[in-house]
Amino acid sequence: MSDQTEYDYVIVGGGTAGSVIASRLTENPDVTVAVIEGGPSDIDREDVLTLRRWLGLLGGDLDYGYTTTEQPRGNSHILHSRAKVLGGCSSHNTLISFKPLPSDWDEWEEAGAAGWGAKAMDPYFGKLRNNIVRVAKKDQNQIATDWVEATKTALGVPEVVGFNDKPFDEGVGFFDLSYHPENNKRSSASVAYLHPHMEAGDRPNLHLFLETWATKLELEGKIARGVHIRTKEGVEKLLTARNEVLVCAGAVDTPRLLMHSGIGPKKDLEALGIPVVHDLPGVGENLIDHPESVIVWETNGPLPGNSAMDSDAGLFVKRDPDHKGPDLMFHFYQIPFTDNPERLGYERPEHGVSMTPNIPKSRARGRLYLTSADPEVKPALDFRYFEDEGDYDGQTLVDGIKLARKVAEAEPFKKWLKREVFPGPEVTDDAEISELVRKAAHTVYHPAGTCRMGASTDELAVVDPELKIRGMAGIRIADASVFPTMPAVNPMIGVLMVGEKCAEMLGGDGR
Ligand SMILES: Cc1cc2nc3c(=O)[nH]c(=O)nc-3n(C[C@H](O)[C@H](O)[C@H](O)COP(=O)(O)OP(=O)(O)OC[C@H]3O[C@@H](n4cnc5c(N)ncnc54)[C@H](O)[C@@H]3O)c2cc1C
C-alpha cells in the first residue's frame, strides 16, 4: 500500500461511476487520485470477468448482500446484491446496456437537475469506453429468437434491432450488452476504464486502495478534507484531498457513509447518538427501484446451450398512450427463475424459461436509514414495494402476467412450452394473480435515488446539479444515489454517464 496520504482527489468506491471518474481525472499526469475500494481487484478473476457466470456471484464473497425490511404487500425475502469488487456492480451484473431515453433525462431536468436534460446528456453516451454491442448472433439462441417472433405476433410490437439507435416506446428484441462476444468477457467499468492502465502501469498518479473500507469522512465544519480508511490488515489512516472528496459508493453505501459522518436527517442521527455536522433531511429518502415479478414455464426439453448471459432479450410495451416512454418491461430468461416461487411451495422444473414483468416507472418511494451508530451494522432498506396509492405497481404486474400468457399462446414460442409453472394456469383472477406475483416479486438490483439531485429550493435534494452536497464544500457525490427519478430502462449506462459528466465538471484536472 502506498505511504502517500495526500492526493488531489480522494474517491470513495472504485465501482461503476468511481472507475470512470478515476480514469478520466488521471488522464492528466499532474493530478493525483486515490480510490478507496472495499473489494479486491477483478483482474484475472474469471468468475467475475466471464459475463455468463454472473448468477454465481450473487450471495457469495463478493456480495455485500443487503436485505429489506418487512414488506407487507411485497416480498420480504429479497436479497439486494451489491458488488464488493473493483468495477462495483458493473462487475456483478448482466451488463444490459440502455442509453436512458430522452424522456428519462428530461424528467430529471423537470425535477430540478438543471443541465441534465436529454440534449445536454446525449454526448456522454458517445464518450463511454465500454464495448456496447448487440447480443452476438452466435449467442442468440433459438428459443429466445422464437420468443421474439411470437411476441411480435401476439402483441403487435415491432422488433428492435439496436435498442440504443433511437428512442422507443415499444419493442422486442435482443439487448445491447457491454461485453466482448468473442470470449464472453465483461466490458465493465473496471475492464473498460481501469484495466488498460493497471496493466500498462501508465498511471503512476492513480492509487488504488483495494480491500479497504472508507469508515468516515473527515470534515472541518462543513468542508470535507478527506476520508478515514481501514485496510484489510486493520490499519487505520486518513487520506486527505487537496481538491475534493468524491463519494461514489453506490445507492446504499453513499447515504450510509454520509450518515455515519454526521450528514443526514438531524432527528434520526441524534436519536442514534451520531453527532450532527450537517442537517440534510433527504439523505436516504427517495429509495427507488425497478421491481419485477415472474411467470415461469416448463419446457418440453432442454434448451439450446448458447447464450450471452441467459437473459438476452427483452420487451417494452406502452399501455397508457399518454405515458412518456414505455410503462411495462420484461426480461426473457432462458432459465426457470423460481427462487421466489419455490419459497411459496412451487417446484423448479428441470428445464424452463421465464418472463419477468418489470415496472419501468414504479411509484413506490422507499427509504434507507440507519438503525445503529455502529458503522458495521448494515442500514435498513425499506422499499415500500407495492404500497403506492392506487396500486399502480401491483396492477402493472398483473397486466404483465396477462400479456406474457398471450405470448405463450403464440408460435413459434408455444411449441417449446409444456406448461405454466408459476403462477399456474388455474390462477386467473386479478386479485389472486396480484397476491401471488407480489409475494414472488424480486428486484433487478437497481436501487437508486437516495441522495437525489435537485434544485436549491428542494428541501429533500442532497446534491445540486453540479453534484455538490448542498450546504457543504469540497465534496460531491456521483453514483446511482443522485438519480432524482428512475430511468424507464436499466440504469447502468446512466450511472456511467453521470461519471463522465462529473469528471468533465471537474475539468479533467479539476483546477
Ligand atoms: C446482479 C445485478 C444485476 C444488474 N443488472 C444490470 C443490467 O443488466 N443493466 C443495468 O443497466 N444495470 C444493472 N444493474 C444495476 C447497475 O449495475 C447499478 O445500478 C450500477 O452499477 C451502480 O453503480 P454505482 O456506481 O452507483 O455503484 P457500484 O457500482 O455498486 O459501486 C460502488 C462501489 O463502492 C464500493 N464501496 C461501497 N462502500 C464503500 C466504502 N465505505 N468503502 C470502500 N468502498 C466502498 C463498493 O465495493 C463498490 O465497488 C444490476 C445490478 C446488480 C447487482
Residue of 89, 312, 463, 486 to test ligand 1 pocket, by largest number of atoms within 8 Å of CB: 89
* Residue 472 belongs to a domain: yes
Query: How remote is the CA of residue 181 from the centroid of ligand 1, in Å?
Result: 22
pLDDT tops 70 at residue 314? yes
> Strand, helix or coil at 278?
strand
Across the range 87-103, mean pLDDT stands at 98
Count of domains observed in the chain: 1
Q: Do 141 and 303 form a contact (C-beta atoms < 8 A)?
A: yes
- CB 171 near ligand 1, within 6 Å: no
β 176-180/278-279 pair status: unpaired
Residue identified by cell 454520509 is 258
- CB 494 near ligand 1, within 6 Å: no
Tell me which DSSP letter residue 389 carries.
G
Q: Do 488 and 326 form a contact (C-beta atoms < 8 A)?
A: yes
Q: Report the atom number in ligand 1 closest to the C-alpha of 447.
A: 19
* Residue 510 belongs to a domain: no
- CB 442 near ligand 1, within 6 Å: no
What is the Cα–Cα distance from 502 to 17, expressed in whole angstroms? 9
Tell me which DSSP letter residue 333 carries.
E
Across the range 285-304, mean pLDDT stands at 98
Q: What is the pLDDT of residues 358-407, one digit of tens each?
A: 999 999 999 999 999 999 999 999 999 999 999 999 999 999 999 999 99
Residue of 174, 492, 496, 501 to test ligand 1 pocket, by largest number of atoms within 8 Å of CB: 492
Q: What share of the chain is helix, strand, coil (3-state, %, to 5)?
A: 30, 25, 50
pLDDT tops 70 at residue 475? yes
Q: What is the pLDDT of residues 41-76, one digit of tens each?
A: 999 999 999 999 999 999 999 999 999 999 999 999
Q: Which amino acid is at 204?
A: P
- Rounded to two decimals, the pTM is 0.98
Identify the pLDDT of residue 511.
37
Q: Whose CA is nearest to atom 12 of ligand 1?
A: 492
Query: In this structure, what CATH number is given to the domain that contains residue 369?
Result: 3.50.50.60
Identify the pLDDT of residue 507.
85
What is the Cα–Cα distance from 315 to 150, expressed in whole angstroms? 12
CB atoms within 10 A of CB 204: 10
Query: How remote is the CA of residue 18 from the centroid of ligand 1, in Å?
Result: 10
Class of residue 69 by CB neighbours under 10 A (exposed 0-12, middle 13-18, buried 19+): middle
* Residue 19 belongs to a domain: yes
Percent of the chain whose pLDDT exceeds 70: 99
| Band of pLDDT at residue 4, cut at 50, 70 and 90 | confident
Across the range 287-312, mean pLDDT stands at 97
* Residue 372 belongs to a domain: yes
Tell me which DSSP letter residue 345 carries.
T
Residue identified by cell 482527489 is 9
| Band of pLDDT at residue 2, cut at 50, 70 and 90 | low
pLDDT tops 60 at residue 216? yes
pLDDT tops 50 at residue 193? yes
User: Domain limits at 293?
Assistant: 6-505
Q: What is the pLDDT of residues 410-464, one digit of tens each?
A: 999 999 999 999 999 999 999 999 999 999 999 999 999 999 999 999 999 999 9
Q: What is the pLDDT of residues 107-165, one digit of tens each?
A: 999 999 999 999 999 999 999 999 999 999 999 999 999 999 999 999 999 999 999 99
* Residue 1 belongs to a domain: no
* Residue 69 belongs to a domain: yes
What is the Cα–Cα distance from 497 to 28, expressed in whole angstroms? 20
